[in-house]
Amino acid sequence: MIRNRKWIKGVQAAALAIAVCFSIGATDATARYEKLNHQFMCSCGCGQVLGECNHVGCPASPVQLAELKADMTNGMGDKEIMDSFAAKYGATVLAAPTTTGFNLVAWIAPFAVFLAALLGTILLVRHWSVGRKQLGEPSNTPEMDALRERIRRETGSEGSY
């Protein structure tokens, strides 16, 4: 019983440690800015991520980056900023689909397919290895023995490689 409690305490401690780890995110502003500007696309049509758009005289990215900075200083949350960008520039400004509505399918499908395929493969392998066919017992005639002898000689099971 006591051992059991110790075990539970250990798990609790581990869970707490993990929770602490995950809660101490990079909170400083530049990191957040870098992170956010990689969540958007540049809307000039160059097809690049906003933070990586480097066109000389790009009409869109400086404006969008300034807007992002302003939103951040105004204390808007990540979600609010994303919503306001999406409202202003259309849903295509978000570099990845959202996790709501039909867009969730985009995220689920890959993992669903992977899991289904994994399961299928495991079942298939099990099915095969259970129904594995045995070769019929070979005849032990002297001719066959001679052949086996020859095979062993020619495939070097006696020392060569």
| Chain positions contacting other proteins, by CB under 8 A | 18, 20-26, 38-39, 41, 45-49, 52-57, 90-98, 101-103, 106-107, 109-111, 113-114, 117-118, 121-122, 124-126, 128-129, 131-133, 135, 138, 143-144, 147-148, 150-157, 159-161
Alpha-carbon distance of 93 to 103, in angstroms, equals: 14
- Answer yes or no: are the C-beta atoms of 60 and 40 closer than 8 Å: no
Would you say 6 or 25 has its CB closer to other proteins?
Answer: 25
User: What minimum distance in Å lies between the beta carbon of 10 and other proteins?
Assistant: 18
Would you say 1 or 135 has its CB closer to other proteins?
Answer: 135
Q: Report residue 105 as tokens.
A: 């399918």
Alpha-carbon distance of 41 to 94, in angstroms, equals: 6
User: What minimum distance in Å lies between the beta carbon of 67 and other proteins?
Assistant: 18
User: What minimum distance in Å lies between the beta carbon of 120 and other proteins?
Assistant: 8
User: What minimum distance in Å lies between the beta carbon of 71 and other proteins?
Assistant: 19
Would you say 13 or 96 has its CB closer to other proteins?
Answer: 96
Alpha-carbon distance of 53 to 15, in angstroms, equals: 40
Would you say 11 or 19 has its CB closer to other proteins?
Answer: 19
Alpha-carbon distance of 80 to 65, in angstroms, equals: 16
3-state helix, strand, coil in the chain (%, to 5): 65, 0, 35
Alpha-carbon distance of 117 to 74, in angstroms, equals: 47
User: What minimum distance in Å lies between the beta carbon of 109 and other proteins?
Assistant: 6
